[in-house]
Structure formats: C-alpha cells, structure tokens
C-alpha cells in the first residue's frame, strides 16, 4: 500500500511540475510563514500590479499583470488582467472570493474545482495597503511534496526601488523564500491593464 501511495505521489509530482504554475518543494509546506493578521479589508481593496512571482512551470511569465479586488453588493471579487500570449489582446479573469478571514489575513477561492475541489486559502503575508502586498499559498500533498505560489504586488505599475526593497524586506520577515521570485514585466503596458 505504501508503494502504491508513493508511486501515485511521484506520478502526481511529475505531472504537477509540468502542468501547474507552482513552485514545487519536497516535504510539507513551510511552517515559518506568518500572515499579516487583522487585515483591513477596505484598505486592501483596489488595484495591485504584480511585480514578481514564483515562476510558472508551463508557460512564460505574464506581462502587465494586475489584480483588482472589488466589492459589489456585499460580495468580493478579483479581476485579473494580463497581456495574452500574442501581446496584442488582454486576458481577463474574474474570481469570486468565497470568504475573507481578516483575523488570519487570508481569503478563500474555489475557482479551480477540478484541480482543487476543496478550494485554496491565499495568505496575505504583509501589506502596508498604500504601496505593496505579498500573497502566498502552499498546498501540502501528504508531506511528500508541496506546491507553492507567491506574488509581490504594488499599487503603482512603475514602483520605486524603495517600495520594492520594502516589499522584499517584508517578504523575508514573513518567512517567504524570495530567491525563486522572478520579475513580471510592467513596462510598455496598455493603459487598461
């Protein structure tokens, strides 16, 4: 039975490494991560420009990626926008947030039901609300491997080096491994991204 579980985990790991946009790790999810806690949701709403993220395994990094957190009729949504692969059109996605846990500093989405039937929690590791935010997610697979996702966003597309340094410092203090982060292109972008 153990052999069967291990074989399935290795097969899933091999599949996931080539098909998902996650950073793959060995063992369980890191335990040294800390979320912001006491999240002020109204201040967090609005547009964030993704400046860096863990690399995607199946496609090139997005360009001109932004995330807009909005509240409509007492429901919360995220609109993500990025240049499509042709660099001509835009790809827009809308996700309904199932819930926010402001005490934990996290939100829950259940957009990818086939891949993650139980949904996923996105943890807000840190934000100063006006300049930067760091979001993180980790999915543990029976302590054999884990899949991690992280982004660093700023309120302005052309963030200053000081803001980027502050975001990097906050990510390190929250326990995020910043070495795998890669820059997301935010220059020469259409105005509506």
pLDDT of residue 23: 79
CA distance 32 to 175: 6
What is the model's pLDDT at position 59?
64
Q: pLDDT at position 27, please? A: 85
14-28, 45-59, 75-89, 135-149: least confidently modelled range: 14-28
State the CATH number of the domain containing residue 12. 2.40.128.20
Of the given ranges (90-94, 108-112, 113-117, 126-130), which has the lowest mean pLDDT? 113-117
Kindly report the pTM of this predicted structure.
0.83
**Overall domain count for the chain:** 1
Residue 120 lies in a domain: yes
- C-alpha–C-alpha distance, residues 16 and 33, integer Å: 23
Tell whether the model's pLDDT for residue 71 goes beyond 70: yes
d(CA 39, CA 114): 30
Please state, rounded to an integer, the average pLDDT across all residues of the chain: 81
In a domain, 56, yes or no: yes
- Domain-located, residue 65: yes
Is 167 part of any domain? yes
| 190 in any annotated domain | no
pLDDT of res. 57: 67
| CB neighbour list of residue 143: distance below 8 Å, 6 or more residues apart | 27, 28
- Which residue range forms the structural domain that includes residue 109? 2-183
Q: Is residue 130's pLDDT more than 80?
A: yes
The pLDDT score that the predictor gives to residue 36 is 86
CA-to-CA separations, 93 to 67, 79, 109, in angstroms, rounded:
10, 6, 13
pLDDT at 13: 46
Tell me if 123 is assigned to some domain: yes
pLDDT, tens digit, for every residue of 21-65? 577 878 888 887 888 888 898 999 999 999 999 887 666 778 899
On whether residue 138 sits in a domain, the answer given is yes
The answer as to whether 189 is a domain residue is no
Q: Which of 26-30, 56-60, 111-115, 164-168 bottoms out in mean pLDDT, i.e. has the lowest?
A: 111-115
């Amino acid at each position: 039975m153990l052999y069967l579980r291990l074989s399935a985990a290795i097969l899933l790991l091999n599949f996931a490494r080539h098909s998902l946009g996650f950073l793959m790790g060995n063992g369980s999810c890191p335990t040294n991560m800390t979320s912001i806690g006491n999240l002020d949701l109204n201040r967090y709403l609005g547009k964030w420009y993704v400046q860096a993220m863990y690399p995607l395994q199946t496609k090139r990094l997005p360009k001109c990626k932004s995330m807009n957190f909005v509240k409509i009729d007492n429901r919360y949504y995220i609109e993500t926008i990025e240049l499509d692969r042709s660099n001509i059109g835009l790809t827009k996605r809308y996700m309904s947030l199932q819930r926010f846990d402001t005490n934990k500093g996290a939100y829950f989405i259940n957009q990818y039901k086939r891949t993650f039937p139980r949904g996923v929690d996105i943890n807000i590791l840190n934000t100063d609300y006006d300049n930067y935010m760091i979001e993180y997610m980790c999915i543990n697979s029976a302590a054999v491997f884990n899949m991690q996702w992280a982004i660093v966003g700023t309120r302005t597309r052309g963030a200053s080096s000081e803001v980027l340094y502050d975001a990097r410092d906050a990510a390190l203090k929250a326990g995020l491994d910043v070495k795998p982060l890669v820059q997301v292109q935010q220059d020469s972008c259409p105005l509506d991204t």
